[in-house]
Amino acid sequence: MSQHALSFTDLELAALRKRAYTMLDEKRIPHVAGCEEEAVCLAERWGEVPSVAAAAAILHDCTKRLSYKEQLALVKKYGISCDDALLASPKLLHAVTGAAVAEAEFHMPGEICSAIRWHTTGKPEMTLLEKIIYLADYVEPTRDFPGLEKLRKSAYDDLDSALALGLAMSLEEISRGGSEPYIDSILASQYYHAERNSHAIS
């Protein structure tokens, strides 16, 4: 088990769900509930505190509904430092504004805010909780895309291999859509491919 002192009671999680769900489009609630379910299963598999993974999952998309203008207002309000690529992307911004809102409005500790911060792009050297939220968001039960079952199985067999696979799939999808991938995703992909290769030869 990890060395967390942090955990949440069922009542605390219920209160968190109730408040966080009011911030979501109704159509996104099944995704967030599915992400929580998958995050708890992954936490049980890999030795994270399930209620901590649940709290991060409940809040991970808490600013997703906001317009680009509203996202930028939150960046300003919370003094979040963003590079130009991040500022130009509403899709990426919801991760950084979500983390800021989780901290300022829900008083979540740093490890949970950080898992929210990196759930969209990933990054090298992620914590166990960051890995779990990245993958739970990707493979939760309402998702449906080619390669999903392979990725889900991998998430329960070997986390770093699953990250390598998930990041590669994500970069492929971004380039298919004609967009430039964000630098953190590229660095994360390189890092977890190297990690997977080092596991394979050790």
Residues near Fe ion (CB under 5 A) are 61, 137
CA terminus-to-terminus distance, the chain: 24
Q: Looking at beta carbons only, is 61 or 130 nearer to Fe ion?
A: 61
Q: In angstroms, what is the minimal distance from the CB of 88 to Fe ion?
A: 17
Q: Looking at beta carbons only, is 24 or 168 nearer to Fe ion?
A: 24
Q: In angstroms, what is the minimal distance from the CB of 167 to Fe ion?
A: 15
Listed residue (52, 58, 66, 65) closest to 31, CA to CA? 58
Q: Looking at beta carbons only, is 41 or 195 nearer to Fe ion?
A: 41
> How far is residue 175's CA from residue 91's CA, in Å, rounded to a whole number?
15
> Which residue blocks in the chain are alpha helix, DSSP H?
10-21, 29-46, 50-59, 68-77, 84-87, 90-104, 110-117, 128-139, 148-157, 159-176, 183-201
> How far is residue 67's CA from residue 47's CA, in Å, rounded to a whole number?
37
> How far is residue 184's CA from residue 155's CA, in Å, rounded to a whole number?
20
Q: Looking at beta carbons only, is 28 or 193 nearer to Fe ion?
A: 28
Q: In angstroms, what is the minimal distance from the CB of 76 to Fe ion?
A: 21
Q: Looking at beta carbons only, is 129 or 195 nearer to Fe ion?
A: 129
